[in-house]
Amino acid sequence: MCLSVPGRILDITEEDGFKMGKVDFSGVIKRICLQYVPDIQVGEYALVHVGFAIARVDEKEAAKTLQLLRELDEMQDEPDGESSS
């Protein structure tokens, strides 16, 4: 029900008093209401739910999360628990 999908903003227009935009979901393009993300720019990603963008996807945070998980990976390549020094 709360299914929401990230898509890339292709353009931003004004329509009937609303900020609207074309959003690309990996090739599927839909018109989405951008009224709740007024600062979003073309090229950025928004999280979209039932025709409304409800958040801007923070690319730096996205990269940071993956980086932290990769570092976890590196830490695990070392001996676990007791040190082998």
Partner 1 sequence: MKFVDEYRDEKLAQNIINKISRMLTRNWVIMEVCGGQTHAIVKYGLDQIFPKQMELVHGPGCPVCVTPLEMIDKALAIAEREEVIFCSFGDMMRVPGSRADLLQVKARGGDVRIVYSPMDALKLARENPDKKVVFFAVGFETTAPANAMAVWKAKEDGIQNFSMLVSHVLVPPAMTAILDSPGNRVQGFLAAGHVCTVMGTWEYEPIAVAYKVPIVPSGFEPLDILEGIMMLVRQLEAGKAEVENQYTRIVTREGNALAQEKISAVFEVCDRQWRGIGEIPQSGLRLKEEFKAFDAAMVFETRAIQTEEPSLCISGEILQGLKKPGDCPAFGVQCTPENPLGATMVSSEGTCAAFYQYGRHQNQELTGAK
User: 61 vs 11, 37, 81, CA distance in Å?
Assistant: 24, 18, 30
Beta bridge partners of 33: 20, 52
15 binds partner 1 per the rule CB under 8 A = no
- What's the CA gap between 63 and 8, in Å, rounded? 17
| Binding test (CB under 8 A) with partner 1, winner from 72, 78, 79, 84 | 72
52 binds partner 1 per the rule CB under 8 A = yes
| Binding test (CB under 8 A) with partner 1, winner from 14, 78, 80, 82 | 80
64 binds partner 1 per the rule CB under 8 A = yes
- What's the CA gap between 40 and 31, in Å, rounded? 15
13 binds partner 1 per the rule CB under 8 A = no
- What's the CA gap between 72 and 76, in Å, rounded? 6
Query: Rule CB under 8 A: which residues touch partner 1?
Result: 1-6, 8, 25-26, 33, 35-38, 45, 47, 49-52, 54-55, 57-59, 61-62, 64-66, 69-70, 72-73, 76, 80-81
